Amino acid sequence: MDAIDTKTTAAGGAFEQQKLGAELVTKTLDRLNTDLATGGVNQDYDFQTKVLSAATGVGGNLNIKA
């Protein structure tokens, strides 16, 4: 039983590490594409993050019933 728990914990740890890495990349890209003087976001980057990610379903739940 300990071996199963260890594998579950290792997989969970790997998932959390991957999630942390993805959040770090996202925050870094957000920061690099923001003008620090005006606080405005690069228009191309803004389009890509809002429109294109919505079309692919990234970050959203597509199985919502009304």
Domain locations in the chain as residue ranges: 2-55
Query: Which helix (H) or strand (E) is 46 found in, with range?
Result: helix 43-47
pLDDT band at 1 (very low <50, low <70, confident <90, very high): very low
CB proximity list for 33: less than 8 A, separation 6 or greater: 41, 42, 45, 46
For the entire predicted model, the pTM comes to 0.54
pLDDT digits (tens, 9 = 90+) for 5-45: 445 567 778 888 888 888 888 899 999 999 989 989 999 98
Q: Which amino acid is at 14?
A: A
> Could you give the residue ranges of the DSSP H alpha helices within the chain?
2-32, 43-47, 53-56
Question: What confidence score (pLDDT) does residue 2 get?
Answer: 47
Q: Are 33 and 50 in contact (CB under 8 A)?
A: no
